[in-house]
Amino acid sequence: MKKLFAKYQSVIKFILTFLLVYFVLSFAYKFYLQWSTGERFYPDYFTYIVAQQSADLLHDLDYRVQVIPHPDEASLKLIINEKYVARIIEGCNSASVIILFISFIIAFSGDFKITFLYILAGSVLIYIANLFRVVILAVGLYHYPWRKDILHTVIFPGIIYGMVCLLWVLWVNRFSNIKRVK
């Protein structure tokens, strides 16, 4: 058994580090959600900012956009040209995807400075990609509402998670401190 642990020490370390970071960040995020709900930034600040920035991008594309609090649930209604097209919930703000990304990078950490910069750059990239995801999804729902299921549950999650996987592959192959087998 000791040989088995020695042989797979790096795998065990990765899994335990990943889980620890993931649970700590998820707990911190849940704590944030509990204490951030307010009148001014409904349902929470991060989701509110994503909704407002998405509306700004849609406005730049010449759509008349409104973002208003949903009266029955913790979400924001996205209205394009007086047509209610989507609701923006906490899950639309990319925080959980960024937490997953950060957990993996820390579990495969490299030099502190490079790790920190990669986490920062990757998180910003994921956030920006998510904004464009929300905008393109909203436009798609406005013009093609019958395609809602495939747009929301297949295509756009595939794009955002595909990008995260590419960032992980780039990290492991270029920047992490894992020993390469030759």
Tokens of 83: 């047509």
Sequence-separated (6 or more) residues with CB below 8 Å from residue 53: 131
Tell me what pLDDT residue 152 has: 86
What are the boundaries of each domain within the chain? 2-175
pLDDT over threshold 50, residue 182: no
> For residue 39, what pLDDT band results from cuts at 50, 70 and 90?
low
Q: Once rounded to an integer, what is the mean pLDDT over residues 100-127?
A: 93
For the whole model, what pTM was predicted? 0.89
Amino acid identity at 53: Q
> pLDDT, tens digit, for every residue of 140-169?
999 998 988 888 888 888 889 999 999 999
